[in-house]
Amino acid sequence: MTAVTERPVTLRADLATLAERAVAARRLVVDMAASPRGCHLGGSLSVLDILLAALDRAAAGDGTEVVLSKGHAAAGLYAALHVSGVLPDDPAPRYGLAGEPYTGHPGPGVPGVRFPTGSLGHGVPYAAGWALARRIGGQGGLGIAVAGDGELQEGLVWETCQVAAARELGNLVLVVDVNGGQNDGLVADISPLPRLAERFAAFGFDVVEVDGHDLAALTEVFADDRRAERRPLAVLARTVKGKGVPAVEGRAGSHYVTIDAARAAKWKRAIR
């Protein structure tokens, strides 16, 4: 391993800018829910603030890669990429249409997306491989995987955690969007995750718990250089499914939603 030193990373956007992006992105997600295809609305809205903060870290240009492992939140990713300036065109009018790359789970045909995700669990090892590549080369930058709490039911996540800890991938950051929901209902009802922080700690991770809608807290987490770290970082980000749209906030039934244009307009006006 190449010797490394810790140094601060300069983030690109101030908190007010990130907050404006969050509002704009949530409205885009609602637009995609109003498309003929509908979208995974609840998880796209819960994960948005995490994605915006992570993409801002990536914009620092140090080789940080953000992988949305919970790929069903593709609408949230497309919206976040667009408002962050990575994706030049508005994805909403093209979402789910023939000949367009904006599928219900993201693939590398979308600018800013390097790995295909949606088959749950794979984004974590993709990010771990990226982190290992940066470390082998003595380079900075994080491998950031953004997973869902339901996704933690996949064995591949824990298989990768075992490997990441053994390889001392301190530049791997696994963010869990803990919104409490999954496709068929509540995580707590289907396959609960008791003592989650302790689980990650037992795997050899550093663990922090944050409010997943607190942009200041999230940007602070992502600001660490971590090149000198030897323990991967798990970020348990407590979020609200459907965050920002009062009609669906906190409701497990918001997992996949298709709405008409009139309802979309009403919901978008309510987003602040």
Partner 1 sequence: MTTVTDTPAAQSHPTTTVAGTRGTPAAPAPLSGRDAYRDELTRLAELDPSILCLEADLGGKGHPFQAAHPGRFFNLGIAEGAMVDMAAGLAAGGYRPFVSTFAPFAALRAAESLKLTLGYLNSGVTVVAPYAGVSGAWFGTTHHCLEDLAILRSIPGVTIAAPHGEAEMRAVVRAAARSGRPHYIRTGRNARYTSLDLPAGAELPDVNWEFPAGPDAVCLVSVGEEGTRLAVEARTLTPGTAHAHLVYADHEHLTRSAAELARRHSHFVVVEEHRGQGGVAEALALLLPRCEVTSVAADRRWPSHGGDHAEVMAALGLDLNAVLHALTRAGAPHSTNHSRSLACTS
- Where does this chain bind partner 1 (CB under 8 A)? 1, 65, 107-108, 114-116, 119, 121-122, 125-134, 136-137, 143, 156, 159-160, 162-163, 166-167
> Least distance (Å) from partner 1 to the CB of residue 107?
7
Q: In terms of CB distance, is 153 or 258 closer to partner 1? A: 153
Give the number of other CB atoms < 10 A from CB of residue 248.
23
Q: In terms of CB distance, is 73 or 132 closer to partner 1? A: 132
> Least distance (Å) from partner 1 to the CB of residue 25?
25
CA–CA dist 15, 18 (Å, integer): 5
Contact by Cβ (8 Å): 243, 234: no
Query: Given CA atoms 250, 253, 258, 263 in this order, what sign does their dihedral have?
Result: negative
CA–CA dist 214, 49 (Å, integer): 8
Q: Give 121's contacts (C-beta < 8 A, 6+ positions apart).
A: 69, 151, 154, 155, 156, 157, 160
Order across the sheet with 143-148: list the strands: 65-68, 143-148, 172-178, 233-238, 206-211
> Least distance (Å) from partner 1 to the CB of residue 65?
8
Q: In terms of CB distance, is 159 or 184 closer to partner 1? A: 159
Q: In terms of CB distance, is 93 or 109 closer to partner 1? A: 109
CA–CA dist 67, 15 (Å, integer): 22
Q: In terms of CB distance, is 172 or 236 closer to partner 1? A: 172
> Least distance (Å) from partner 1 to the CB of residue 150?
18
> Least distance (Å) from partner 1 to the CB of residue 153?
15
